Chain A
Amino acid sequence: MLIKILGPGCAKCNRLEQLTREAAAELGINADFEHVTQIEHFMAYPIITTPALVVDEQVKCSGRIPNKSEIMGWLKV
């Protein structure tokens, strides 16, 4: 599983990454993490607001920090 966090490296994006890592660890999922900070690369995804969470190239949410159980729901499938 490839998990991408899109965000310019601000507090919010770091927090999303931390939450997602925790969620993955709690589910025992072995995932690769990538924190994309280059704005040009964001443009490839249908998002305009950050932070955004992309799981296996699918945008799960953008512009807000979801709570952990929400993230777990996305990672389980």
Chain B
Amino acid sequence: MHWLMTSFQGGLASLASYLAAHVLLCLVPAFFIAGGLSALVPQQSIIRYLGPDAPKWMSYPAAAGAGSLLAVCSCTIQPLFAGIYKKGAGLGPAITFLFFAPAANILALSYTGVALGADFAIARILLALSFGIGIGMIMAVLFRESDVARLADTQTFATGEGISGRTLLFLGTLVALLIAGTLKLDFLKAIVLSTSIPWSGASGVQQLLDGAVPVNEGTGAEGLSLQGALLIGLLAVIGATAWRGLGKVDEGFNRLTFVTLGLVVATLVFAAMGVQVTPGGISLAVTGRTVAVIVTSLALLPQARRFDAWDVQQWLWETWRFVKMIFPLLIVGVFLVGVIRVFIQPEWVQAIAGANTVLANLAGVVFGVFMYFPTLVEVPIAKMFLSLGMHPGPLIAYLMADPELSLQSILITSAIIGKLRAWTYVGLVALFSTLAGLTYGAWFDGTSALTLGIAVAGLILLLTAMLHLIETHRRT
């Protein structure tokens, strides 16, 4: 009975700290950005650089850009992948797109940054970018013979509008909101103004919360603060109002739409304040972060008014769609991670992946390939491993391999590009994820970033040169 209780409490603790600490200032703005990218950025604005005649120094970066900007949801990934491969720039850029998309979309990136730390997020995007382009080029070289017979279809890629200035500004403001809410900078932490509310019950409530969700530094359980509990309550209210307010916004704005948006802003502002329980009551502090969140949120309003009502409705509808699609699975995932955490002994993890060895990195990759987790759940899993003593190198190897490869994605890929190409791709992803893990692990263990950067850049340059030689050779 005792272990049941412990594991349940573990799940609860992981959920509580997740909802209170990680979701708000990072995932809430990230969902709005994802919705904006999906609804406001015309896909053609990037697709036009991916035509059959596009030179490779344009098509590979454009493929990566498409991966991070357009492919927030899997239903855009497949058709785009097939389109780039069969009609556009070919196998190489298509593979780069496929590899880069899950690692570099705004949700994965901001969540990684907040849950695991900014260096993990930066490593994830840099390594995924260089190795994504690398794998794409290797595939293009390996299968150069069959790549000629594509349905070249220049017309599809010819026209297209760019991203309008106001869309860029709007998305930029949302990104600023995300950054203001999450970055750990001194001026954001500085206290601008503080006040205290006398409430003798405060410490009693906090004790109650500590009893329900105990703080345990040994296992990394962060406990639940009074502020956290209030924020979770606010999130639940937002969920209830958003059901109609955002879910039905495509039929026109309704009163609940504005209630929901107002609540979201209020919650973000409250989350950005410093709240401490003192013996006499509660002390509230307005920090630089609070001010920054208020300013950026308010800056969105006049900008949103300049868009067509239809565009704004699309944006909110898409945002809510992403939340509905990703959030429930994420909550279940986080809870289960907390439950499982109780049963895994740190010694096991440390024995297998405690140091940055080739074997440890391979173990990370193999785990990533055979386990399938829903979008974003790879992050709490990685966090669990980190707290259990996994070395950051193998952790990055796992983070690269898990979202890229699952049985499902392998099957879809092989249906489009054929079995041989698909399995070659799988092999390359495994190899390069291991390399990525070793690289990051080496950096963590003290090798200078410059040396590693030169090594990675050298590898990519070598591949580019090879591809270039083969292309010129074929033309003559």
Residue ranges of A at the interface with B (Cβ–Cβ < 8 Å): 7-13, 15, 39-40, 42-43, 46-50, 62-65, 67
Partner-A contacts on B (CB < 8 A):
39, 42-44, 47, 50, 70, 73-76, 78-80, 82-84, 86-88, 151, 153, 155-157, 250, 310, 314, 321, 325, 416
Residues of chain A contacted by B88 (CB below 8 angstroms): 48
Interface pair A10/B250, CB less than 8 Å apart: no
Check B155–A42 contact: CB distance below 8 A.
no
Q: Do most interface residues of chain B lie in helix, strand or loop, or is the interface mixed? A: helix
Which secondary structure dominates where chain A touches chain B?
Answer: loop
Total A-B pairs, Cβ < 8 A? 65
CA distance A48 to B81 in the complex (A): 9
Distance in angstroms from A66 CB to nearest chain B CB is 9
B79 touches A42 (CB 8 A): yes
Q: How far is the CA of A16 from the CA of B446 in the complex (A)?
A: 53
Roughly how many angstroms separate A63 CA and B71 CA in the complex, as a whole number? 12
Judge whether A48 and B84 touch: CB under 8 Å. yes
Which residues of chain A are near B79, meaning CB under 8 Å?
Answer: 7-8, 39, 42, 48-50
Q: Give the complex CA separation of A9 and B42 in angstroms.
A: 20
**Other contacts beyond A39-B78, A46-B155, A48-B87: 20, CB < 8 A:** A7-B79, A10-B73, A11-B75, A12-B75, A39-B82, A39-B416, A40-B82, A42-B79, A42-B83, A43-B87, A43-B151, A46-B153, A47-B156, A48-B43, A49-B47, A49-B70, A49-B76, A63-B42, A64-B42, A64-B43
Q: Which of A43, A50, A64, A67 contacts B75 (CB 8 A)?
A: A50
With both chains docked as a complex, state the minimum distance between the C-beta of A71 and any C-beta of chain B, in angstroms: 12
Give the interface centre of A9, A39, A40, A47 by most chain B CB atoms within 10 Å: A39
Q: Give B314's nearest chain A residue, CB to CB.
A: A65
- Residues of chain A lying within 8 A (CB to CB) of residue B70: 49
Decide: B314 and A48 in contact? CB cutoff 8 A: no
20 residue pairs A–B, Cβ–Cβ below 8 Å: A7-B75, A7-B79, A10-B73, A11-B75, A15-B250, A39-B82, A42-B82, A43-B86, A43-B87, A47-B83, A48-B43, A48-B50, A48-B83, A48-B87, A48-B156, A49-B47, A49-B70, A63-B42, A65-B314, A67-B310
